[in-house]
Amino acid sequence: MTIKAADVKKLREATGVGMMDCKKALQEANGDLDAAVDILRKKGQKVAEKRASREANEGLVAAALSDDGKQGALLELNCETDFVARNEAFGQLANALVRVALDKALASVEALHGADFAAGQTVEEALIEATGKIGEKIAVRRVALLESEDGRIVSYIHPGSRLGVLVHMHGDGAVESAGTDVAMQVAAMNPVATAKDDVPENVKEKELEIARESARNEGKPDHIIDRIAHGKLERYFKDHVLVEQPFVKDSSMTVKVMLQNAGAGVRQFVRFALGE
């Protein structure tokens, strides 16, 4: 049957799929627009299956906050090429998905996949459809959720959207501005923990043993080896623990001192760097 150009255009606008694919779908559906949409979605399913084993190492990190600042979500959405990652539609999809995670308080990819998205679709179905439209593997790699009853969540997305941070702040002072500074600190310095007590015991023991072995190899007396090891552990904390690190905006003070001056504190953080 003859397919009108206006119908092809309408189907393309509704689905984002190329003109030739839209025309073929309309021919297969005998001109029925709804049936053609279903055909294209089925094609998307096939494309998704074909590309399931492909590497998807490009993409974006997106964040969303509730209006009252009590909840925040962070999400990494992957694709195969930087060209797709920079596409406006891909960015819109990432922002829409992180909003679903926030609104429904979803903290795992599995839970997000099963959530309602739009037009009767689940998130998983929407990702399959996006794969069909774009022609690349599209996948949510990870999602995180932070919630606060007595403070607020602050977000930071580094220019380029390949790195994002959420921080859980509290206090009676300049919590918002201090939170932005802390989030930028986390982005730049990639700490392993918020405070010394948050460093896992196995990490502490590993650092102590490395320091002890180093001291032995240097011929240090046995009775001072533990003291040397604990001194090196303190230096490890200064390099890798958030509140012990030199503040990136003013290295004359630590992050802990900056927070004290601001009348604020930080409880935890989440950091997503693309592909890490």
Lowest mean pLDDT among 93-97, 148-152, 255-259, 270-274: 148-152
End-to-end CA distance of the chain: 51
Beta strands in the chain (DSSP E): 58-65, 71-79, 139-147, 152-157, 163-171, 246-247, 250-254, 264-273
Task: Give the pLDDT band of residue 2 (cuts 50, 70, 90).
Answer: confident
Of the pLDDT bands very low, low, confident and very high (cuts 50, 70, 90), residue 250 is very high
Cα of 153 vs its chain's centroid, Å: 15
Q: Is 60 helix (H, G, I), strand (E, B) or coil?
A: strand
pLDDT over 90 at 34, yes or no: no
C-alpha–C-alpha distance, residues 241 and 198, integer Å: 9
Q: Which of 246, 91, 253 is nearest to 161 (CA)?
A: 91
Its sign, for the CA torsion 205, 209, 212, 214, is negative
The span from the CA of 148 to the CA of 176, in Å, is 14
Comparing 4-13, 46-55, 66-75, 139-148, the range with the smallest average pLDDT is 46-55
Q: Would you state the pLDDT for residue 29? A: 92
* Residue range 161-191, pLDDT digits in tens: 999 999 999 999 999 999 999 999 999 999 9
| Model confidence band, residue 10 (pLDDT cutoffs 50, 70, 90) | confident
Taking the domains of the chain in order of start, what are their residue ranges?
5-50, 53-147
pLDDT at 243: 97
Average pLDDT (59-74) is: 97
**Strand order through the sheet with 152-157:** 152-157, 163-171, 264-273
Per-residue model confidence as pLDDT tens digits over 219-246 = 999 999 999 999 999 999 999 999 999 9
Res 15 pLDDT > 80 = no
Q: Using an 8 Å Cβ cutoff, are 128 and 136 in contact?
A: no
Listed residue (28, 35, 83, 41) closest to 59, CA to CA: 83
Estimate to the nearest angstrom the gap between the alpha carbon of 4 and the chain centroid. 43
Looking up tokens 């599209």 gives 138
Q: What is the DSSP letter of 199?
A: S
pLDDT score recorded for residue 55: 76
* pLDDT 10s digits, 105-135: 999 999 999 999 988 889 999 999 888 888 8
pTM above 0.95, yes or no: no
What tokens does 175 get?
A: 């919590």
Cα–Cα nearest to 269, from 132, 163, 113, 134: 163
User: Distance between CA 211 and CA 84 in Å, rounded?
Assistant: 46
Task: Give whichever of 8-12, 33-37, 155-159 has the largest mean pLDDT.
Answer: 155-159
- 185, amino acid identity: Q
Whole-number Å distance between alpha carbons of 246 and 29: 64
* Whole-number Å distance between alpha carbons of 44 and 167: 37
- Mean pLDDT score across all residues of the chain: 92
| 206-219: pLDDT as tens digits | 999 999 988 888 89
CATH number of 5-50: 1.10.8.10
Q: Under CATH, which architecture does the 53-147 domain have?
A: 2-Layer Sandwich (3.30)
